[in-house]
A and B are shown apart, each in its own frame.
Chain A
Amino acid sequence: MDSTKKHLRSAVLVAGAATLALAMGGCSAGSSGASGGSDQTKNVTINVVLASDPPPKSELAEFTKETGITVKWTNLDWDSLQTKIAAAATAKTYFADATDVDWSRVGQLGKLGWFYPMQKYLKTSSLKADMPQLSSFTVDDKVVGIPYDASFMVTTVNKELFAKAGITTMPTTISDYTKDLQQVKSSGAVQYPLDIPFAAAEGLSTYWYQTTGAFGGTVLDKKGKPQFTSPDSAGYRAAQWMISALKSGLVSPGNINVTDSQGMQTLMAKGNVASVFSDYSGNVGSLYNVPDSSSVVNQVQYIPTPGADGVGPNLSNPDSIGIPVNAKYPKAAAKFISWFTSKDTQVDFAGANGPDKVLSGYALPSRLSAVDVLNSKGTLVGGDVLAKLLKTRAKPVFPEGAPSWYPQFSNSVYTNLHAAAAGNMTVDAAIKAIAQTATQLSSGS
């Protein structure tokens, strides 16, 4: 009995010691990470984590030669990356020196102070004129990330499938666009001419925002109050139009489980649909005109957004790169960001100076000056249209910056619109549920 007690006591002691050791280890790891980082910029290695392929080795080597900064690149999928950013920031521990700042997280990040204001390291005021989407990453005058591509939502059409239906003049209003799609369907060119990604995922939310913009409205006002509750509102009509397109056979019933990228890759790129109303800018060059992944090479073109009474806007969903406050080498990271988002680097990444310098999957430069260079060299597919749209039509989804509760709101948007598409609720009920979420969140309850 005595022996058992002794063993038990020893076991408890060992467990206690181990717990203490781990707790101390955890504490020290946490505190060391939040030390403010080093200003060293020579002979350091920085970790860059993005949901993107790395730049070509030769480009990174050139950067290292110029600056003495070695870049260790990690490519993580977007969801995992956001989880890691949140987990590391909450634990106040080091994760990366430079990483993704998504437009939809700007409200949260601005409030949380997880990223350094870029003004601390770069002269951001001089970037504004050349980077129209910088405003998407500005909260309370703090720039939390520098956009490195100029992704915005744009309508694409397969002109050959449209031509088969006798349509050669592209529609400029949403009613003409709908009629044209019906004509394509009735001509038999394709069974389901339109792609709408109705899977319960972020792509459905952004599709709805873009369609709402096309109908002449916005989703939320400056205070975050819903602007789509009335049946006459743009958001309501946009949701109605999307679900009607599904019910009337313009969209395949199977699209209730199709995500945005899946639809572009397996439907539009394979000629199974004739149009994507809210496509990614740059997809014509980086997907539809790539023979390995597409059977519609040279058939797809960008068109100005068909709106309620004429050409509508193109809402932006760009990616940017920022510096977490727990970065080890923030100054070196800033140097990298400056290089990564410079005009010359963007021109290289977009393929103007040969395939060796291309960043795989790079859509469209965030700098107008880089877009102009590509356009003048003729290396940007649909460059004239894209450049014009970027300069004159692209605007943020939320002009005041995404609210800090955006992820919750978006979750409500895509789950309810998906449920309406799947026939599990009416459009009216879906809109009411989304509006209720927005009202609750914006009132802080």
Chain B
Amino acid sequence: MTVGLQAGRPVPGLPRRRKRIDALPWLLVSPLAIFIVGLALVPAAYTIIASFFRVDELDPPTRFNGLDNFVHIFQNGAILSSMGNTLLYVLVGVALSTLLGIFFAVVLKQKFRGRSALIAILILPWALPGVVEGIIWVNIWDANTGLLNSMLKSLNLIENYQVFLGTNHFVTVLLIEIVQVWQITPLSTLLILAALQNIPDELYEAGSIDGASSWRAFTGITLPLIRPGITVAMVQAVIATLNVFDQPYVLNGAAATGSSVTMQTYFVTFQNLDFGAGYALSLIITIATLIISFGVLKLVYRPVEF
């Protein structure tokens, strides 16, 4: 029989030893904690508080004004119109980037020659700044000298060059969002591909023995098991599309047909110098992001265990 000391319990008769605090974990985590607190939590708290104040450089001093900033926002036609546009950006962007992400992930899961190179090429649009993408696509959509018009005309599909952006509200939003989808789809693809690669081959083999077709295997095995990956991809698409700025600004200027809420936030804050309203708009975007992301989580996410 072995007699030993029970860990953590003081031994009668011996002086009680002070418990040493292991500082290393705190030390390791502190840079990240400072980073998050300083760059996310403090500004977020400041934004929440300041959104209830009149902070206007042209109308000092800063003073509490309750919900006035929010009331003015919901009375501003340009901002309301941009909210409608942004909702469309979210619907189109999240749907397209998710569907394309699933498609490309399934294709890239197959083993074929040049797969690695294809993945590298696929990531390129994600690495490009939004402004650069906007400029590239201006040369495609442009109504005077654009590539699309040139192609359609050379194929005899149109007689004269067409104006794609700026005339029809929905078409404008759709074409601008295609540019953003081109940017965000690579990340969706990689997230879904990661989830896809976790699925054990045995499941497909079992399905095959049971006579499941490829489509049945996709709907019965693949889709349910990549739901966590799809959820993350959709949430990142929600965040990106709710904050779309560069693409509509470069492609369509400040026009109401494509203006987004973040563009309005920029105008209100840095053109009009009404920082209070800018804080309130930012807060609205944040709350909308949280609500929609939570909705996606509830609708799409299901825990998966292999």
Contact = CB atoms under 8 A, between A and B. Distances in A.
A56 interface: no
A252 B33 contact: no
By CB atoms of chain A within 10 A, which of B251, B266, B272 has the most?
B272
B169 to A, nearest CB: 8
B58 interface: yes
A85 B183 CA distance: 30
B270 interface: yes
A230 interface: no
B144 A15 contact: no
Of B41, B78, B161, B163, which is in contact with the most chain A CB atoms at under 10 Å from its CB?
Answer: B163
A423 interface: yes
A438 to B, nearest CB: 14
A258 B252 CA distance: 9
B273 interface: yes
Interface string A381-425: 000000000000000000000001101100100110011001110
Interface stretch (B191-199, B254-262, B293-301): B254-262
Given A19-B42, A200-B253, A266 B271 contact: no
Contacts of B256: 200, 415, 419, 424
A257 B254 contact: no
A72 interface: no
Given A10-B26, A408-B272, A415-B78, A254 B253 contact: no
A259 B254 CA distance: 11
Contacts of A127: none
Contact of A108 (B34, B58, B144): B58
Interface in A1-27: 10-11, 14-15, 18-19, 21-23
B37 A22 contact: yes
B78 to A, nearest CB: 7
Interface string B126-153: 0000000000001000111100000000
A257 B38 contact: no
Interface in A417-441: 418-419, 422-424
Contacts of B205: none
A108 B138 CA distance: 33
Given A14-B33, A112-B57, A254-B163, A424 B257 contact: yes
B163 A201 contact: no
Given A86-B270, A418-B253, A256 B166 contact: yes
Contacts of B255: 199-200, 415, 418-419, 422
B143 A18 contact: no
Given A86-B273, A199-B253, A408-B272, A423 B37 contact: no
The main secondary structure of chain A at its interface with chain B is helix
Interface string A40-54: 000000000000000
A252 B146 CA distance: 13
B165 A257 contact: yes
A257 B251 contact: yes
Contacts of B253: 199-201, 257, 259, 414, 418
A86 B42 CA distance: 21
Contacts of B165: 257
Contacts of A186: none
A266 B145 contact: yes
A327 B78 CA distance: 36
B65 interface: no
A254 to B, nearest CB: 3
B30 interface: yes
Given A22-B42, A252-B144, A415 B272 contact: no
B257 A19 contact: no
A266 B58 contact: no
Contacts, number: 114
A254 B161 contact: yes
Nearest to A13: B26
**Band of interface residues on B:** 35 or more
A144 B136 CA distance: 38
A272 B143 CA distance: 13
Interface string B46-85: 0000000000011000000000000000000010000000
A18 B37 CA distance: 7
A19 B254 contact: no
Nearest to A425: B256
B275 A90 contact: yes
Given A14-B33, A18-B30, A201 B142 contact: no
A255 interface: yes
Interface string B154-190: 0000000101011100000000000000000000000
A411 B254 contact: yes
A21 B34 CA distance: 9
B103 interface: no
Interface string A107-133: 010011000000000000000000000
A134 B251 CA distance: 35
B63 to A, nearest CB: 16
Contacts of B251: 257
Interface in A70-99: 82-83, 86-87, 89-90
Interface in B22-46: 26, 29-30, 33-34, 37-38, 41-42
A267 interface: yes
Contacts of B37: 15, 18-19, 22
Contacts of A11: 33
Contact of B271 (A254, A256, A408): A408
19 contacts: A10-B26, A14-B26, A15-B33, A15-B41, A18-B34, A89-B57, A90-B57, A90-B275, A112-B58, A200-B256, A253-B163, A254-B142, A254-B143, A255-B144, A257-B142, A257-B165, A405-B272, A411-B254, A415-B255
Interface of B: 26, 29-30, 33-34, 37-38, 41-42, 57-58, 78, 138, 142-145, 161, 163, 165-167, 251-257, 266-267, 270-273, 275
Given A14-B30, A201-B254, A256-B163, 14 more contacts: A22-B34, A22-B37, A23-B42, A108-B273, A253-B163, A254-B144, A255-B144, A256-B166, A405-B58, A408-B271, A419-B255, A419-B257, A422-B257, A424-B256
